Amino acid sequence: MAHVSVTINGHDFSIACDDGQEAHLSRLASYVDKRVGELVASIGQAGNERLLVMVCLLIADELSDVYAEIDSLRNQDQGASARLQAEETLGGSMEMLAQRIEAIAESMERP
């Protein structure tokens, strides 16, 4: 198990993570620190616990928006798949109809 030192809002934390996840954890911590910095710039220092709770809520809101967008894209994809399937079915039906029309036309041409 690895340990990573991260700094959020000027405070250092040692966080354990799986081996190989150190860079990812550092990027996540940098993102949280950036969001805390934005919040501090907006409302001022409000105490570490309060700032971190507020940032957690902001990030959870972002995550909620991303989940909603993913659901929307999935629905669009399912709709597109259904349309494609309907078009393929219609295309097959039209092909069968064309063959029947040709057969009828040929039978009418024969005496």
Render pLDDT for 57-75 as a digit per residue (tens, 0 to 9). 999 999 999 999 988 888 8
Could you tell me the residue ranges of all domains in the chain?
Answer: 2-109
Band (pLDDT 50/70/90 cuts) for residue 79 is: confident
- Token look-up 């309060």 returns 50
Q: Which string of DSSP letters, residue by residue, matches 66-99?
A: HHHHHHHHHHHHHHHHHHHHHHHHHHHHHHHHHH
Cβ-contact 6, 26 below 8 angstroms: yes
Cβ-contact 39, 57 below 8 angstroms: no
Enter the pTM of the model: 0.63
